[in-house]
Chains A and B, each alone.
Chain A
Amino acid sequence: MAILVNEQSRVIIQGITGREGMVRAQLMKDYGTKVVAGVTPGRAGQDVYGVPVYDSVLQAWEKQGPLDVSVIFVPAALVKNAALEAIEAGIRLLVIVPDRVPIHDVLEIAARAAEKGARFVGPNTLGLVSPGKAVLGMIGGRAERAREWFKPGSIGVSSRSGGMTSAISYYLTKAGLGQSTIVHVGGDAVIGLSHPEVMALFEEDPDTRMAVMFGEIGTTQEERVADLVESGRFTKPLIAYIGGKAAKSGTRFSHAGAIVEGSRGSYETKVKRLREVGVHVVEAISDIPIRAKEVLGS
């Protein structure tokens, strides 16, 4: 098992002929992801590393059969159009890699996705990997590196920082602890699948025995994970590491923001809330594998 993606998932790449699209098409293919098509308007008939290119998602679907996932590598200003195209065509999982996607565009993508029953990871994500099965996006950079850093196993990893996603997973691997699925949820304020949504998927996945989460100051994601634990909707062991302890907390300047977030959002409140409900909060990245071994051993 694993969540969101496995070796059976049929994947397309929107923006496959661009600089990033090409390089990451190679990563995904080399790793073993079933990349069945690419889309770049005006480039139908070409191929990238043996992946046929089509003019539209619909055309790719017609020629290649049902598609499960689209990984999007188009410039930020064009992301909304590409995402809506994929959702409309019937794709149920999008991975939106670019950063700097306008927030109102993300809101529209979220609304359309909800309407059609689709999900998305990102924007501003390195992607995700189910070790030994498939990688989506650019995580690991190159296939041989992704194989070396991430190993199959029973720990689910969810992180708001791309680099930390790889770092945590690598340190787990080094300690002999494999991962079920590794998700970089994305660094923006509004994202498709956030920590609580990923935790809910790990809860359902029989191969995931425990989870590790990297959180950051800002937004209410980590507090909402605590809510899940408290209400019994996430029951597996969870280790959390929260970045930004020393960061100067931003001056709150919007009353409306303060009304919505209340006392949530800061390092202290996140750690306190997670500890209250029994989450293992660690203070350094090197403590993650140590604690994970303790938790899995007990």
Chain B
Amino acid sequence: MARLFEYQSKKLLKQGGIPVPAGDVAATPEEARRIAERIGKPVVIKIQVWVTGRAGIGGIQFAATPEEAEVKARQLLGMRVKNFVVDRVLVEEKLAIKAEYFVGLVIDDAAKKPLLIFSPAGGTGVEEIARLHPEKIARQTIDVLKGFPEYEARNMLIRVGVEGGILPKLADLLTKLYKVACSSDARSAEINPLVLTADDNIYAADCHLVVDDYAVFRHPEFGIEIAREFDRPPTELEKIAYRVEEKDYRGTFYFFQMVEQTAGSEKYIGFNGAGGGGSMMSMDAVLNRGFKLANYCDTSGNPPASKVYRAAKVILSQPGIMGYFASGSGVASQEQYHSARGLTKAFHEEKLDIPAVIRLGGNFEEKAIEILQAYLKDIPGVVEGYGRDDSPEFCARRLEELVAKNGGKRHKVRPMGETPVPEKAYIFETVTGRISFDHSKCPGCKTKGCVPACAPKVLKLEDGKPVLAITPEEARKGKCTECLACEIFCRFHEQDAIVIHLPIPGLKEYRERILAAKAET
């Protein structure tokens, strides 16, 4: 779930007609001072991070003068909170608080409706109140076809004893919050506290919105870098992985790092799951054998071989892992030989020297296992392929045995190599890459097996040389599915004349940085 920062959320509230304290966001102490000058009153300075309890860790400071605001902002900027480095603070007028309320909107999965919650007592204790005194909390599910009329909001408030001049103000605010939540595709929208000031005005003193990942595409204005749930900023490698996923909608590639560094004596492995449930089951199996995951990764939804290849390249950019474990539900509807080919290409390029256990049960698993066995027997690391009748527990045990046999050797990240494309090569573009054929090697080829190997049948022979049977435009638009079958066939059975280049922007530099850092120490 894509979270917005407090200052972003407040901007949306303000656009929706909900009063927020005067203020702005600052990235430097000087900016903070200028904002305080404009406000012309004592201010509060708040770090912009996705953690609760900011006051308790000194992340919220008060300043009486602009000079003081600059000093305080200097202290806060650069502060480390969990995995965040504070790079922005919100500078706002300090409110004279008379009362605090809580307002929250969530999606109720049982009712399949938005649910609005109001508590006359706000602040951090609201969950406690909900548990001990549920009658003090007003709840209202909303009929999305009818919308949320003001009278419904008013009745909801009356039920928990709200009365007097504040009643219409709060009712109005609730209806506006619902509209903001809808227009911003929010999974949740929370104002806590909602403040009543000494002069009887209400302000959203703190607020956060969580945007539905699946609707982020409708909201380029939010500047959300990775539309996925994180409780910290994404790592460099996660950003690289996300760019792969963003540009290629065929199947799913989800990559998440579980640890910052795979240091120490822990038995880290690279994890490549397939499908949510199957990944969870597989994860449970390896964790039960005492392994730790360096990363979580899911390649499913019938991804092309090229996507699985990129996933493996990203996973193998993590130094220190002792094994590679790929496993899904075991009975996948997707055609598993695509994954097998993707892994084959990646493991070969990496000259993988740690063991890999690959559980590819499902459609065409026999062919998938055969590919792994036939083409990965000569690399330094042992690669074993399993199918639907081999349990995740068994496969996890196999990995444990192979890791022990390998002496617990850890993976070293290699520089990204690039095979040079010969002059006069026959080249065409694919959806996410480029294929080159060195036709000068074709006369030595007896089988011409690349043409029948091609899964989407886009190749034909011309003078004994493979060329496109479709237009280059069609190939680029996806008729060539990047199944990698031609390259693998040619490399292992014939002249090694085909090179499929599948760039992963940023990965080369990323690995160079890792290697340089290692050389320094």
* Residues of A that sit less than 8 Å from B by CB: 76-77, 99-104, 106-108, 110-112, 114-115, 126, 138-142, 145, 149, 159-164, 166-167, 169-171, 174, 187, 189-190, 194, 214, 216, 219-221, 224, 243-248, 250-251, 253-260, 262, 284-286
Contact = CB atoms under 8 A, between A and B. Distances in A.
A139 B331 CA distance: 10
Contact of B329 (A99, A166, A244): A166
A126 B301 CA distance: 10
B432 to A, nearest CB: 16
A259 B185 contact: no
Contact of B214 (A76, A255, A256): A76
A221 B52 contact: no
B388 A170 contact: yes
Interface in B227-284: 229, 231, 252, 258, 274-278, 280-281, 283-284
Interface residues of B, number: 70
Interface in B1-46: 3
Contacts of B275: 161-164
Interface of B: 3, 50, 52, 102, 104-110, 112-115, 117, 126-127, 130-131, 137, 143-145, 182, 185, 187-188, 190, 192, 210, 212-215, 217-218, 229, 231, 252, 258, 274-278, 280-281, 283-284, 287-288, 300-301, 328-335, 361-363, 388-389, 391-393
A165 B131 CA distance: 36
Given A259-B126, A286-B391, A164 B277 contact: yes
A43 to B, nearest CB: 19
A256 B105 contact: yes
A162 B105 contact: no
A140 to B, nearest CB: 6
A163 B329 contact: yes
Contacts of B127: 255, 258-259
Nearest to A221: B109
A107 B277 contact: no
B67 to A, nearest CB: 35
Contacts of A189: 107, 109, 187
A256 B104 contact: yes
A284 B391 contact: yes
A91 to B, nearest CB: 19
Given A190-B107, A190-B109, 7 more contacts: A99-B214, A102-B185, A103-B185, A166-B331, A170-B330, A255-B190, A259-B127
Contacts of A285: 281, 330, 391-392
Query: 6 smallest A-B Cβ distances: which pairs?
Result: A161-B277, A163-B329, A256-B104, A163-B275, A141-B333, A243-B280
B52 A259 contact: no
A108 to B, nearest CB: 6
B268 to A, nearest CB: 15
Given A111-B144, A216-B280, A256-B190, A163 B274 contact: yes
Nearest to A263: B131
A245 B282 CA distance: 11
A262 B218 contact: no
B109 A220 contact: yes
B284 A246 contact: yes
B329 A164 contact: yes
B188 A256 contact: yes
A163 B278 contact: yes
19 contacts: A77-B217, A110-B112, A140-B333, A141-B332, A159-B277, A163-B330, A166-B331, A167-B331, A167-B361, A174-B389, A189-B107, A189-B187, A216-B280, A220-B110, A244-B284, A255-B190, A256-B117, A260-B108, A284-B393
Contacts of A101: 214
Contact of B212 (A102, A166, A216, A255): A102
A161 B190 contact: no
Nearest to A188: B214
Contacts of A142: 363
B117 A161 contact: no
A246 B117 CA distance: 32
Nearest to B110: A220
Given A102-B215, A255-B190, A262-B131, A219 B109 contact: yes
